Amino acid sequence: MGGLQGSSLSALLPSLWISAAGVAIVVIVGLGTLLYIRVSRTRVVAAAGTWDCGYARPSSRMAYTGSSFGHSLRELFRWALWPRIHRPDLGGLFPKTAHLKTVVQDPVLDRMTLPGAQFLGRGFAWLRLLQQGHLQIYVLYFFIIIVLLLVWGRSTR
């Protein structure tokens, strides 16, 4: 503690050297950027086809599908997604052409939103009886509500 007591801040932190190093870094990065821009403008970029896995003429059957990209996530969240996999039967010496099909339903839409909406639709079907399309019935509803509100307001005093 005694050694730092008589020292000045400029002795502990040589600000001149730090400032010079900062300016040098900014100049070097700026010159590098200018050099990159100059080289990239003069260089001709060759057009090439997409990577074709070593095949001369790839077809769409050789491409990755969305299912193959999402496979690891589907397996990771199998507990929540409940995927249904339809595997073909590959029996026999020369099996026929087969297709693997994976179906993953949307857990929010298919398991919560649509069943909830169907439940509410069945539960409130009786409300359709109130909507008859006649103005006289709607005025009657309004009158009944006003009377009920007046009775309820009188009873809460």
| Confidence band, pLDDT 50/70/90 cuts, at residue 12 | low
| Three-state helix/strand/coil letters over 18-69 | HHHHHHHHHHHHHHHHHHHHHHHHHCCCCCCCCCCCCCCCCCHHHCCCHHHH
pLDDT for res 6: 61
Per-residue pLDDT tens over the stretch 87-115: 888 888 888 888 888 888 888 888 889 99
| Confidence band, pLDDT 50/70/90 cuts, at residue 142 | very high
Q: What is the mean pLDDT of residues 14-26?
A: 86
pTM check: above 0.85:
no
Alpha-helical regions (H) of 43-134: 66-69, 71-76, 78-81, 107-108, 114-123
Q: Which amino acid is at 69?
A: F
Which whole-number Å values give the CA distances from 154 to 20, 64, 142, 150, in the listed order? 84, 72, 18, 6
